[in-house]
Copies of this chain bind each other. A is one copy, B any other.
Amino acid sequence: MEPKLFFRLFLLIITVCFIVFFTSTSFSHGPSSTVKLFDCTNSSSSPLCASRNFLFNKKARPIGKNVPKTKPKNHDHVSDIPNHPLDPLTVMEINKVRSILSSHALFASRAPHTLNSVVLEEPDKNLVRQWVKGDQLPPRKASVIASVSGDSHVLTVDLSTNVVDLVDSPVRKSGYPIVTSEEMDSAASAPFSNADFNRTILSRGINLTDVVCIPMSSGWFGNKEDNKRVTKIQCFSTQGTPNFYMRPIEGLTLLFDLDTKQILEITDTGQSIPIPGSTNTDYRYSNFPNRDKTRPLNPISIEQPHGPSFVIEDNHIVKWANWEFHLKPDPRAGLIISRVRVHDRDTEETREVMYKGFVSELFIPYMDPSEAWYFKTYMDAGEYGLGLQTMSLEPLNDCPRNAVYMDGIFAASDGTPFVRENMICVFESYAGDIAWRHTEYPVAGMPPLREVRPKVTLVVRMVASVGNYDYIIDYEFQTDGLMRAKVGLSGILMVKGTSYVNKNQVKKDKEGNEEELYGNILSENVIGVIHDHYVTFYLDLDVDGPDNSFVKVNLKRQETAPGESPRKSYMKAVRNFVKTEKDGQIKLSLYDPSEYHVINSGKTTRVGNPTGYKIVPRATAASLLDHDDPPQKRGAFTNNQIWVTPYNKSEQWAGGLFTYQSHGDDTLAVWSDRDRDIENKDIVVWYTLGFHHIPCQEDFPIMPTVSSSFDLKPANFFERNPILKAAPNFEYDLPVCGAKSVST
């Protein structure tokens, strides 16, 4: 789930050299125009350039030679122009930002500097809400986070006036910006220049060429780390497997200064612990010589012979069924959905539902307090960037055949734009489910009834591979007005080496209590360490406009009065308007349940209900850590499952704008404790989806996907079931399909 990142160097260099060599001679892989765009020829050592080339290099793909469906734009994006106020910065715009900044005083000193983030500075919400197609775009601006000589700066660059506004410069809060690929790369290679490290490796009988080291964010545990930007580094053996995560060199931890590039400390608490073997750790299909062909499943596919029912207009406006929204990739959040509106067929209005929704932060605390593990308390969005940690989606497997893909345009740390191809997919899903139904026996001379409607949904998906873990983030839209946010966890566990090869070897004390392993033995010498995952969503709901209230509809037992009823009790719903933020800090409870509505008091239905949407929690988990524990202070946005804050443009990242090594002084919990008024205001709802993960052997060597979700669901938003008039499936509508081998 987190760092590991980037050791990609060697092969990357080789790959780039290979491509450079080839383009200069005869063959060419990938669109040549992108070479100009990236200008990677002069920075072939940059992992950004290298990874971009990798993404374009179809030959390097291990499986799936399929070309993804064509996208409604050019692959190089050089001529893209913005069409909507929320459209991400284009290639041209990113280049212009770089050009403007290059002549700015802050960067003129030639001191080392890094652009940690270059994204659109979104126009004011009201401007965006009022904008309609055909209007001129509001002034385009870029929001930039830069590091210069160790200081962070927040800047706004006006692309029409070329004016640079120093919004917060230098920043004096705790925490640092997202670590760049180059920094991770330098961390990953640093150990090999260290004599002590090399000695340690050799003393364990490991070949240095088999070792890979990856940086892991250090968290923040008090003043010791203050005023130094550091990362921890741990190493693995790649010998005999691509799945080096299963072969940890346990207990060996390096502390690395990201600014001075110095190794500050080496600790080694695991000399006696063997490196787990490579047997059964490889998961590559191409590497199974005896692929198990016993009872394989027959091919299965979602088919739409007339093509998808949605359109993506102007590159970013998705229109499907009664839904319309703006979709864009984001380096930090992965993707952002904005201006979500639904067409109401009763009134023929297009009605606002959500202004903006995205994954604001993650928190992944591991549950082992020992030296080599205590710091593993990752915040993947703010420390690494979910969007930056994507690779191209694999057509037919990451998304079904009827999917359409969208590219991400991001800026490298030197400000050059690059394309993350096929970063998002959009597809219609039909799993055989039922949208609504009723059957009724013929009654009293009436005709029999059998009315059933199939459920078709629209899925928007991205996948971040933050080191070992893979996060599959789906936003699913239903025609009945429901939106579902779903998180799937797959990828590879972060495991711990142990000398035990069997549970029966675990030591017991005099009372017979087993030694605490902080997890389970998954394989010989491998412990899967217990951990949690929290994914916090920012949900700026605007139900029929921004002025909304949050209502807890509390369900509680009501005893009947004597003689009132043969019943002793019933359950009643008590509506409570939440007036301030602290009342909107909500811990879910099975035996004190509520519904959580966001309503528009100013707009009522025909029969007088305020229009609303409700947030519907499903399976989740809550953090059990001490609130004063440093990791929980930084991840304090997980102290409740739901929070409600007044809209504030600067409060978007639940762990703070500067998450890396933050002290927890700029979290959602801190903002919410100001207890501001939230009644009949523009409010933002925050929902945290949690997972406890006690690893088991089935998670070895790669984990079957575990997923959970929550819903945003209309509650008296529509006058009636909005899909009452939906059509059933008819045989004459459905495709005629043949097996490929027969048809071709």
Contacts and interface: CB of A to CB of B under 8 A. Distances in A.
A305 B556 CA distance: 53
A195 interface: no
A701 B724 contact: yes
Copies of the polypeptide in the assembly: 2
B553 A694 contact: yes
A502 B716 CA distance: 13
A51 interface: yes
A494 B520 CA distance: 50
A40 interface: no
Interface in A1-59: 1, 4-12, 14-15, 47, 50-51, 54
A454 B66 CA distance: 15
Contact of A629 (B371, B451, B567, B724): B567
A367 B572 contact: yes
Most buried by B among A284, A694, A744: A694
Interface string A727-744: 111111111111111111
B298 A308 contact: yes
Contact of A566 (B65, B222, B701): B222
Interface string A354-376: 00000000000101111100110
A298 B307 contact: yes
Contact of A303 (B51, B301, B465, B696): B301
Interface stretch (A135-143, A169-177, A390-398, A665-673): A390-398
A290 B465 CA distance: 49
10 contacts: A65-B731, A238-B443, A285-B725, A292-B345, A305-B737, A400-B430, A430-B431, A434-B463, A698-B715, A698-B718
A246 to B, nearest CB: 11
Nearest to A225: B566
Contacts of A450: 61-64, 391-392, 394
Per DSSP, chain A at the interface is loop
Given A431-B431, A624-B591, A716-B520, A737 B569 contact: no
A60 B618 CA distance: 40
A736 B740 contact: yes
A608 B704 contact: no
Interface in A641-678: 641
B720 A698 contact: yes
A739 B4 CA distance: 14
A251 interface: no
B367 A570 contact: yes
Given A1-B298, A369-B566, 5 more contacts: A63-B728, A284-B451, A292-B725, A302-B431, A303-B303
Contacts of A595: 692, 694
B432 A399 contact: yes
Given A451-B284, A590-B620, A705-B436, A569 B629 contact: yes
A482 B570 contact: no
A565 interface: yes
Contacts of A483: none
Given A520-B716, A626-B557, A12 B47 contact: no
A624 B64 contact: no
Contact of A609 (B503, B559, B716): B503
B447 A607 contact: no
A532 B573 CA distance: 12
A274 to B, nearest CB: 14
Contacts of A557: 624-626
A569 B626 contact: yes
Contacts of A163: none
Ranked nearest first, the 3 interchain pairs of A and B with the lowest CB-CB distance are: A503-B608, A369-B565, A431-B431
A559 to B, nearest CB: 7
Interface string A615-652: 00111111011101111100000000100000000000
A201 to B, nearest CB: 13
Contacts of A102: none
